[in-house]
């Protein structure tokens, strides 16, 4: 039976319980802020409790399937949604640990409330199955982000960073919306699973206008999301904003917009385009090919000459957007049978890479934050030189994160790069555009270039001479939540590198779920045969108007 609207709605609300918990706590914290004169530790603790409660709620609802509602509901509970939301909650906890002492008491409630809103927006994006819902999820991330950028410090640099980010984000929202409008116009449904199903339906669905209208949609959605993930040619704001923002917000900007940008690309673009019109898919691959190559080359080469740590990480994050775009290019390639992906799929590589990227980049920024928190300078590479003498454990964590970013074998970053390049390498060649194998080769060369500047930092940490006086080591520690967050990132990078199996199977399931199309009107993945769908296809009687 086709589930009726109220049942769909109540099931969707159930599925979205974690976000609801988080958003309500955030609203409560923001409202309570002006009335209770407490220090920031209370608000940080409450936020941690809210994330914990949301995590519990996510575990509780994780078993509840939504396949029966896939074509009618605004949110899904498939593997991509569950794992993505889990990842954003965990990284949210890490970010909270990094941020716990980064804001003055007077702004703490608003700051932590906004942080919770950002996390819940990111989770909504993971779960979203509808264009409008996805868009409000994206906005629920960006609007609190402006607040987070602005609140901790109000000097001229921060204001400049906020202004740049705000205006470009508004601009990119407009581009994204234009793309969404055309995506909606392709068939007239805004439900993403239904859109993918119709596009894959062939027959009369694909008409003369599909390629033209679809190309507009792909170009503009890629442009709008390209701003969020900082891909060339929409990267130019990233170094300035990263440098000007408070470090903890830089960490947040390096991870959350990039994460949701790519998750949204998987949800909106690759799942729809790769099953649809072949010509559209070819154009999309070509577009992603160009963006990926340009992003990789620009990010890595410009990062070579940077000395400011935050700018260096900004260019490194641009380069990582390039690796992920390689995965997007592979994921755009046409999939004949959504139920049967090849041995390596682009979406799988993207999900794996995102998880690894989150850990390593948050860990690296966490080390910088830890140093700043204990009163040391950590602005340029030279400031880090000789760090291993004074802080061996912290240096080890930094080295692990940097090796992982560089893609050195036994670490998580290596496997991420491996899966992405493997998916590009095994993709079917398409006539008329440069092959994806060439893109994979460009990626490998760039990974080698990228290793240089990461290893330069590691070399400075272990072999450089400390510039500061040894007395500095008697400085106070930065607080246990920061240390714990850094430790978690480094250890998880190592563990996931040594045992990539679970994460790999999880990302596999997420990729399959993202592109999979449950049989319409049935409740389980088993109901594939046509007789059931025929039975179900009876449309509800239309009331007479």
Partner 1 sequence: MTDPSFPFEYLSNYLIIGAALMALGMLGFLSRRNLIVMFLSAEMMLQGVALTLVGFSRYHGNWTGQVFTIVMLTVAASEAALALALILVLFHRIRSLDVTLWQDLRETGLPESVDTSGAEPYEPVPGPESYPHLTPSGVEPPHPRQPWEQRRG
Partner 2 sequence: MTLLDSRDLALIAAIVALGWVGIWLLLPHRHGGVKTARAYRVGALLSAIAVLLVLPYLTPPGDLLARLFFYSFSLLALLGAVLMITARNPVNSALWFAVVVLSSSGLFLLAGAQFLAAGTVIVYAGAIIVTFLFVIMLAQSHGQAIYDRSARRPLAASLTGMLLLGALISAIIAPGATRKDGDPAPIYSVGAIADQPPADGPIAAVTAQALTETSRLPRPLEQGETPAHVAGLGATLFTDHLLTVQVVGLLLFVALIGAVAIATPKAPIRPDRSTASSSPGSATTNPGGVS
Determine if 184 is a binding residue for partner 1 (CB under 8 A).
Answer: yes
Six-digit token string for 191 = 């439900």
Of the pair 7, 240, the CB lying nearest partner 1 is at 240
Of the pair 13, 459, the CB lying nearest partner 2 is at 13
Could you give the 3-state DSSP secondary structure of residue 191? strand
Tell the smallest beta-carbon distance from residue 17 to partner 2 (Å): 12
Determine if 198 is a binding residue for partner 2 (CB under 8 A).
Answer: yes
The CA distance from 331 to 387, in Å, is 41
Determine if 299 is a binding residue for partner 2 (CB under 8 A).
Answer: no
Tell the smallest beta-carbon distance from residue 102 to partner 2 (Å): 11
Six-digit token string for 316 = 């490194």
The CA distance from 391 to 462, in Å, is 11
- Residues whose CB falls within 8 Å of the CB of residue 131, separated by 6 or more in sequence, listed in order: 180, 183, 184, 190, 192, 268
Tell me which long-range contacts 495-503 makes (C-beta under 8 A, separation of at least 24): 496/355, 496/356, 496/359, 496/412, 496/415, 497/404, 497/409, 497/410, 497/411, 497/412, 497/413, 497/414, 497/415, 498/410, 500/352, 500/412, 500/415, 503/352, 503/355, 503/356, 503/412, 503/415
Determine if 520 is a binding residue for partner 2 (CB under 8 A).
Answer: yes
**Interface residue with partner 2, options 45, 52, 209, 525 (CB under 8 A):** 209
Of the pair 242, 414, the CB lying nearest partner 1 is at 242
Indicate the angle between helix axes 17-32 and 79-99, nearest 10 degrees: 30
Single out the segment in contact with partner 2 by CB under 8 A; choices: 179-187, 242-250, 420-428, 472-480: 179-187
x/- track of binding to partner 1 for residues 118-157 (CB under 8 A): -------------xx--xx--x---x--x---x-----xx
Chosen from partner 1, partner 2, none, partner binding at 13 (C-beta under 5 to 8 Å by type): partner 2
Per CB under 8 A, which of residues 67..96 are in contact with partner 2?
Answer: 69, 71-72, 74-75
Residue with tokens 């607080």, as numbered in its chain: 479
Per CB under 8 A, which of residues 302..361 are in contact with partner 2?
Answer: none
Residue pair 238/230 in contact (Cβ under 8 Å)? The answer is: yes
**Interface residue with partner 2, options 79, 99, 206, 329 (CB under 8 A):** 206
Paired strand residues for 128: 75
Q: What are the Cα distances from residue 81, in Å, to 27, 126, 192, 370, 404?
A: 23, 5, 14, 32, 25
Residue pair 228/261 in contact (Cβ under 8 Å)? The answer is: yes
Tell the smallest beta-carbon distance from residue 25 to partner 2 (Å): 12
Tell the smallest beta-carbon distance from residue 74 to partner 2 (Å): 5
x/- track of binding to partner 1 for residues 191-230 (CB under 8 A): ------------------x---------------------
Per CB under 8 A, which of residues 127..146 are in contact with partner 2?
Answer: 130, 132-133, 136-137, 139-140, 143-144, 146
Q: Which residues bind partner 1 (CB under 8 A)?
A: 131-132, 135-136, 139, 143, 146, 150, 156-157, 159-164, 166-167, 170-171, 173-175, 177-178, 180-182, 184-185, 187-190, 209, 239-241, 243-244, 308
């Amino acid at each position: 039976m086709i589930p009726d609207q109220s049942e769909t709605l109540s099931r969707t609300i159930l599925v979205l319980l974690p976000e609801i918990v988080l958003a309500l706590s955030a609203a409560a914290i923001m409202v309570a802020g002006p009335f209770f004169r407490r220090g920031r530790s209370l608000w940080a603790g409450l936020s941690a409790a809210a994330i914990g409660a949301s995590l519990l709620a996510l575990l509780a609802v994780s078993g509840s399937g939504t396949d029966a509602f896939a074509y009618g509901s605004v949110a899904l509970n498939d593997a991509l949604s569950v794992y993505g939301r889990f990842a954003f909650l965990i990284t949210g906890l890490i970010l909270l640990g990094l941020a716990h002492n980064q804001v003055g008491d007077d702004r703490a409630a608003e700051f932590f409330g906004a942080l919770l809103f950002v996390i819940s927006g990111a989770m909504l994006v993971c779960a979203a199955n509808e264009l409008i819902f996805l868009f409000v999820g994206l906005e629920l991330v960006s609007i609190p982000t402006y607040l987070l950028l602005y609140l901790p410090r109000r000097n001229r640099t921060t204001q400049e960073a906020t202004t740049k980010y705000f205006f470009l984000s508004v601009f990119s929202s407009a581009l994204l919306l234009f793309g969404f409008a055309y995506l909606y116009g392709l068939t007239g449904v805004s439900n993403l699973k239904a859109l993918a199903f119709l596009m894959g339906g062939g027959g009369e669905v694909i008409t003369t206008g599909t390629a033209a209208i679809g190309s507009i949609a792909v170009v503009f959605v890629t442009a709008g999301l390209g701003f969020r993930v900082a891909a060339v040619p929409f990267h130019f704001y990233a170094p300035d904003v990263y440098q000007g923002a408070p470090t903890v917000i830089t960490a947040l900007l390096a991870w959350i917009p990039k994460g949701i940008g790519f998750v949204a690309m998987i949800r909106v673009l690759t799942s729809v385009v790769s099953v649809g019109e072949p010509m559209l898919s070819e154009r999309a691959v070509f577009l992603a090919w160009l963006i990926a190559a340009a992003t990789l080359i620009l990010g890595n080469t410009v990062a070579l000459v940077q000395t400011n740590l935050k700018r260096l990480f900004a260019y490194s994050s641009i380069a990582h957007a390039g690796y992920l775009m390689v995965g997007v290019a592979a994921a755009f390639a046409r999939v004949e049978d959504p139920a049967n992906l090849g041995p390596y799929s682009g979406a799988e590589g993207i999900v794996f890479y995102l998880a690894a990227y989150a850990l390593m980049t948050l860990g690296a920024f966490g080390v910088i934050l830890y140093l700043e928190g204990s009163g040391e300078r950590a602005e340029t590479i030279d400031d880090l030189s000789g760090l291993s003498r004074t802080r061996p454990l912290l240096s080890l964590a930094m080295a692990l994160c940097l090796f992982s970013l560089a893609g050195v074998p036994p670490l998580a970053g290596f496997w991420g790069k491996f899966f992405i390049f493997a998916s590009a390498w095994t993709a079917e060649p398409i006539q008329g555009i440069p092959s994806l194998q060439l893109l994979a080769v460009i990626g490998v060369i760039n990974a080698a270039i990228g290793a240089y500047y990461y290893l330069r930092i590691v070399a400075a940490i272990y072999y450089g001479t400390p510039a500061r006086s040894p007395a500095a080591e008697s400085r106070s520690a930065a607080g246990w939540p920061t240390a714990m967050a850094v430790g978690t990132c480094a250890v998880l990078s190592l563990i996931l590198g040594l045992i990539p199996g679970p994460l790999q199977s999880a990302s596999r399931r997420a990729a399959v779920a993202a592109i999979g199309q449950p049989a319409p009107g049935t409740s389980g993945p088993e109901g594939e045969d046509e007789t059931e769908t025929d039975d179900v296809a009876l449309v509800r009687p239309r009331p007479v108007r």
